[in-house]
């Protein structure tokens, strides 16, 4: 019998960014960079491990907005163009660095990366990389779960139950359509939990969720096993707590693995380093410097005098760090085994985009780690597990009411409710109220009016993404985040006012539908106040 379990959870999410009216749109690069540097490299790692007989298991949460973008034809086509542009730049870089023994191999590394990405994206996955994750799920390597439809921070909507219900129900329907399966659990955006949220999870057959350590530690009952076993909410939905030491090892800027001096430096990019005359065609609008992905330096230390990146050295470090991570988990399990009467489960959740995008060597670290965990499992030390498998083995868990919590700064809501972003809630809450009012006034519409109401529901939900207040607070691309919230609220209000006047501008509506086309099977009636109706609204996909 295993002495302990580890559940690695990768949460993949990006907000819905799709601008068909523009040939190139700056923020669409968020998706392209994540595909190139995180999702495709991770898929290659998983496939390689599977092909070599490594028995790994992990949990992958894919947000409905990300899944929708990954299956969107326009964005798929644009990603191919983006890759071709990078391959063109790679050829130029190979020529530019031809005489430089330090940088030429790195230019080749990037050319190989983007060439492989193009092959995988177009040939292996026929432009839909979710096929790859779905196959791995069917084969038993991954458990794919869902999260709030547009990744809203739930605690700030707790007095708007129809909005919470709409987020969860729409997520589950979208997951069913895209993955052809019913998600067993839910990732709470930003680990944002408030007591009572579990009611909506249960209504959508979501049996578990993940939360911050203090959701359990500050629960109304002493958590007998701390965060090393789930707690059962009053309605039976299980909550797994995040393990703090595993988080720190990876997340901490100073002591975490990604800050090692041998790893690739994120901030030195030829998009900022090379003359405009050379790099112009590969940056935004030929004039706005941006990250291109071509980065030639190692972190080196707290200095501007960076040394060239040496992939072999970084690879050795990644293996060393994987070994260190495993060593610490084994030590943790050994200690916990003396204190618990069942094997502990160590939950290690991370943002998927950390691996590869910011921490270039992240996918490699995962590969080393999964290999080592598989070996440790054969020695009877530590088994990889998913939350579902754990709950099947240990269905009885200590009852308790977890505490309001998040993984944001100081553990509650201050990142998403702050002087920089608090103005949005007045408007979003009003839109939710108005959406509920529309459902009451138009309880069963068909045809054009139904289209209008469904678009209104999309717009309300898109305005709720936790990314917008986060960006306003942290200061990256703030004008874009502000504009997005305003755009969705404007669209909603326009629809609302039109419906009040019993008019519809079909041309305008069609334009908005084409642009903000997420959740094609949305049903506006989900915003009805009577939550018990939700089960009747739309059949669950299986």
Partner 1 sequence: MTKEYLQRLSVAALVELAAKEGIKVPEGVERASLVEQILEAVEEDRDEREHSNNSAMRIKEKKYDIIQDEELESQEEADYPLPDRYNETRIVAMLRDPLFAFAYWDLKDADIEPLAGSPEFRDLFLRVHEVAAENGAQGDAYFDIPVKTTDESWYINLPNPGRSYFIELRCRVGDVERVLCRSNSVHSPLGEAALDYVYDLSDGADNDVLMLSGLMDYGASSARERIPQRIISMVDDDYLQIQG
Residues 474-513 close enough to bind partner 1 by CB under 8 A:
474-480, 482-483, 486-487, 489-491, 493
Residues 31-70 close enough to bind partner 1 by CB under 8 A:
33-34
Please tell me the distance from the alpha carbon of residue 407 to that of residue 410, in angstroms, as a whole number: 8
The answer to whether 14 contacts partner 1 (rule: CB under 8 A) is yes
**Shorter beta-carbon distance to partner 1: residue 176 or 343:** 343
Query: Closest Cα to residue 79, out of 38, 128, 45, 42?
Result: 128
Chosen residue from 167, 247, 436, 534 binding partner 1 by CB under 8 A: 247
**Shorter beta-carbon distance to partner 1: residue 29 or 317:** 29
Q: Which residues pair with 185 in a beta bridge?
A: 208
Residues 252-281 close enough to bind partner 1 by CB under 8 A:
252-253, 255-256, 266, 272, 276
Show the tokens assigned to 397: 């868990």
Residues 519-538 close enough to bind partner 1 by CB under 8 A:
none
The answer to whether 467 contacts partner 1 (rule: CB under 8 A) is yes
The answer to whether 224 contacts partner 1 (rule: CB under 8 A) is yes
Please tell me the distance from the alpha carbon of residue 319 to that of residue 335, in angstroms, as a whole number: 24
The answer to whether 155 contacts partner 1 (rule: CB under 8 A) is yes
Please tell me the distance from the alpha carbon of residue 106 to that of residue 164, in angstroms, as a whole number: 47
**Nearest-approach distance from CB 387 to partner 1, in angstroms:** 17
Chosen residue from 22, 302, 447, 507 binding partner 1 by CB under 8 A: 22
Q: Is 421 exposed, middle or buried (0-12, 13-18, 19+ CB in 10 A)?
A: buried
Kindly give the residue spans of alpha helices, DSSP state H, lying in 385-422.
387-393
HSE of 52, CA atoms in CB hemisphere, 13 A: 13
Residues 386-445 close enough to bind partner 1 by CB under 8 A:
403-405, 407-415, 417, 422, 425-427, 429-430
Give me the sign of the Cα torsion angle 361, 363, 365, 371: negative
Show the tokens assigned to 20: 């068909």
> What is the bridge-based pairing of β-strands 231-232 and 5-12?
unpaired
The answer to whether 335 contacts partner 1 (rule: CB under 8 A) is yes
**Shorter beta-carbon distance to partner 1: residue 54 or 217:** 217
Q: Where are the beta strands (DSSP E) in 342-448?
A: 345-351, 383-384, 398-399
**Nearest-approach distance from CB 111 to partner 1, in angstroms:** 21
**Shorter beta-carbon distance to partner 1: residue 173 or 424:** 424
The answer to whether 290 contacts partner 1 (rule: CB under 8 A) is yes
Give me the sign of the Cα torsion angle 76, 34, 409, 364: positive
The answer to whether 219 contacts partner 1 (rule: CB under 8 A) is yes
Please count the residues of this chain forming the interface with partner 1, following the rule CB under 8 A: 99
Residue 118, classed as helix, strand or coil, is helix
**Nearest-approach distance from CB 229 to partner 1, in angstroms:** 9
Residues 314-333 close enough to bind partner 1 by CB under 8 A:
328, 331-332
């Amino acid at each position: 019998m295993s002495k302990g379990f580890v559940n690695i959870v990768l949460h993949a999410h990006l907000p819905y960014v799709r601008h068909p009216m523009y040939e190139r749109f700056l923020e669409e690069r968020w998706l392209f960079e994540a595909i190139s540097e995180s999702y495709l490299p991770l898929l290659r790692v998983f496939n390689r491990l599977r092909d070599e007989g490594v028995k790994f298991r992990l949990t992958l949460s894919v947000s409905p907005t990300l899944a929708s973008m990954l299956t969107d034809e326009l964005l798929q086509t644009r990603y191919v163009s983006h890759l071709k542009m990078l391959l063109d730049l790679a050829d130029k870089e190979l020529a530019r660095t031809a005489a430089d023994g330090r940088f030429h191999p790195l230019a080749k590394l990037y050319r190989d990366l983007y060439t492989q990405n193009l092959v995988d994206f177009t040939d292996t996955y026929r432009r839909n990389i979710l096929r790859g994750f779905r196959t791995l799920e069917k084969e038993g390597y991954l458990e794919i779960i869902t999260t709030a439809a547009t990744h809203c921070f739930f605690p700030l909507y707790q007095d708007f139950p129809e909005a919470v219900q709409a987020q969860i129900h729409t997520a589950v329907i979208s997951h069913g359509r895209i993955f052809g399966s019913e998600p067993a659990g839910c990732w709470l955006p930003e680990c944002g939990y408030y007591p009572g949220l579990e009611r909506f999870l249960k209504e959508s057959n979501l049996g578990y969720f993940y939360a911050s350590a203090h959701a359990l530690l500050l629960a109304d009952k002493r958590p007998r096993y701390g965060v090393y076993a789930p707690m059962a909410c009053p309605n039976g939905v299980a909550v797994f707590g995040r393990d703090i030491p595993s988080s720190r090892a990876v997340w901490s800027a100073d002591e975490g693995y990604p800050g090692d001096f041998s790893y690739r430096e994120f901030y030195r990019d030829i998009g900022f380093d090379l003359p405009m005359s050379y790099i112009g065609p590969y940056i935004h609008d030929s004039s706005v410097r941006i990250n291109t992905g071509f980065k030639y330096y190692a972190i080196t230390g707290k200095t501007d005098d960076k040394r060239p990146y040496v992939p072999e050295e970084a690879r050795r470090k990644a293996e060393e760090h994987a070994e260190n991570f495993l060593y610490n988990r084994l030590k943790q399990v050994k200690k916990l085994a003396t204190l618990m009467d069942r094997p502990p489960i160590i939950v290690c959740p991370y943002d998927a985009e950390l691996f590869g995008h910011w921490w270039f060597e992240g996918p490699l670290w995962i590969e080393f780690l999964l290999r080592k965990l598989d070996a440790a499992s054969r020695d009877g030390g530590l088994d990889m597990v998913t939350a579902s498998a754990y709950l099947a083995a240990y269905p009885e868990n200590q009852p308790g009411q977890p505490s309001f919590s998040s993984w944001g700064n100081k553990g509650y809501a201050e990142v998403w409710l702050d002087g920089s972003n608090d103005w949005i809630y007045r408007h979003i809450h009003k839109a939710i109220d108005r959406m509920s009012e529309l459902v009451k006034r138009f309880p069963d519409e068909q045809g054009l009016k139904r289209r209008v109401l469904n678009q209104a529901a999309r717009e309300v939900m898109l305005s709720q993404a936790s990314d917008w207040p986060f960006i306003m607070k942290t200061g990256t691309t703030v004008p874009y985040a502000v504009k997005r919230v305003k755009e969705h609220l404007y669209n909603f209000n326009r629809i609302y006012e039109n419906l009040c006047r019993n008019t519809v501008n079909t041309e305008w509506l069609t334009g908005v539908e084409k642009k903000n086309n997420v959740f094609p099977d949305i049903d506006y009636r989900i915003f009805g106040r009577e939550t018990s109706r939700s089960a009747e609204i739309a059949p669950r996909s299986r």
